[in-house]
Amino acid sequence: MLRILDINDAQELFTRKAVRLAEAEKVVAPILEDVRRRGDAALIDYARKFDGLDLKQVRVPEADLAVTLGAEFLRAIEVASKNIRAYAGMQLPCEKWIDCGDGRRLGQIVRPLESMGAYIPAGRYPLPSTLLMTVIPAQVAGVLTICVTSPNPSKEILGTARWLGVRDVFRVGGAQAIAAMAFGTESVPKVDRIVGPGNIYVAAAKKLLAGEVGIDFVAGPTEIVIIAAEGDARWIAADMLAQAEHDVEASAILLTTSRDLAERVAAEVARQLETLPTASVASEAIHNNSAAVLVSSLAEAVDASNRLAPEHLALHDASLLGAIQHAGSVFLGSMSTEAAGDYATGPNHVLPTSGVARIRGGLSSADFVKIISVQELTAAGLAKLRPTVTTLARAEGLEAHARSVEVRLG
């Protein structure tokens, strides 16, 4: 079922399918406008139409958040949250100052966004882990207003929200949830930035509303590239299936110099699918979007990966890291399964897909702060800059700029 292809015959895998956002944008545009005009009333109507929910209000009552979570689940989110919080703290930019010694004192101050909204999927797979990954970096950054939307949150999502101290939770999904957080409604606060994964309609809504509100990125189907010249075929197959089970559009690609390894991995994929509960999804993703690709060298594998700029990149040979230019998150060594990163290692699992890793990394605490530049001049410092400023200002025809310097210096 897993194809084995030569790199020269695998170009379709490296030519991205166009994310069909144009059609989705046509569908969601009137929904966005309806939510902007009618607020909660529109959200309640769409909850009934799309999610089969008969709601009186979209806010989840406090009593519904007070669910009992199992001891094992609580221990899991305690460990995961501790690691996520520590890593987010490491990523946070800090205030700093320099005295240039020529009358200039320069610095930066860091201020959190006032509000954020997290979209948490709850369809085929409810994702409390995404709640941890989106809320904790915002808390580390110091964001005060945090709201969560989810179309039909599981008890784990509800309980995790309460455990995190989040009380603004709303039972609303799809494009209408993005519109609610972008515009604000009677119940849902307007936020500064919206983050979190979703289906194509969620992605289209975020794209259309970018500018009205900050977003993380427009996400497409999830993907992994594994580069290995040797290794345990069972482990590699398991990692490919872990990605494939997310969605029928998911992609899992092994780049290898070894035909023997490729054949063993293909056999393992087929064997593991036989007992995988999510095989109906994973098998379609493996058949349509995945392959073991034969390359002449590991350098050629790295080049192919850099062209693809994958969301997840697994390097079984850690010495290749220095040549990596584009990836959402890198997993070094054969023990570093991507699933550990999805839940518990600490780095964020909200990552750029569809080549966006060429221009940015994954979600971080830095996405929830502003770095504000600060500059202070003495009279001597301004005097030293006078000829530079006045010359450039007059070259641009901005006389008042030049005079604002000269009036201070006489």
Report the catalytic residues: 311-312
> How far apart are the C-alpha atoms of 56 and 66, rounded to whole Å?
20
Q: Which residues of 270-307 are buried (b: 16+ CB within 10 A; e: fewer)?
A: eebbeebebbebbbbbbeebbbbbbbeebeebbbbbbe
Name the 3-class secondary structure at 370.
strand
Interstrand relation of 251-256 and 291-294 (parallel, antiparallel or unpaired): parallel
Name the 3-class secondary structure at 333.
coil
The four Cα atoms 379, 385, 387, 391 give a dihedral, to 10 degrees, of -120
Structure tokens at 107: 């610095």
The four Cα atoms 242, 243, 249, 251 give a dihedral, to 10 degrees, of -130
> How far apart are the C-alpha atoms of 221 and 241, rounded to whole Å?
14
Q: Find, among 55, 389, 19, the residue nearest to 207 by Cα.
A: 19
> How far apart are the C-alpha atoms of 188 and 148, rounded to whole Å?
9
DSSP for 41-82, please give it: HHHHHHHHHHH----S-SBPPHHHH-PPPPHHHHHHHHHHHH
Contacts (Cβ under 8 Å, ≥6 apart) of 274: none
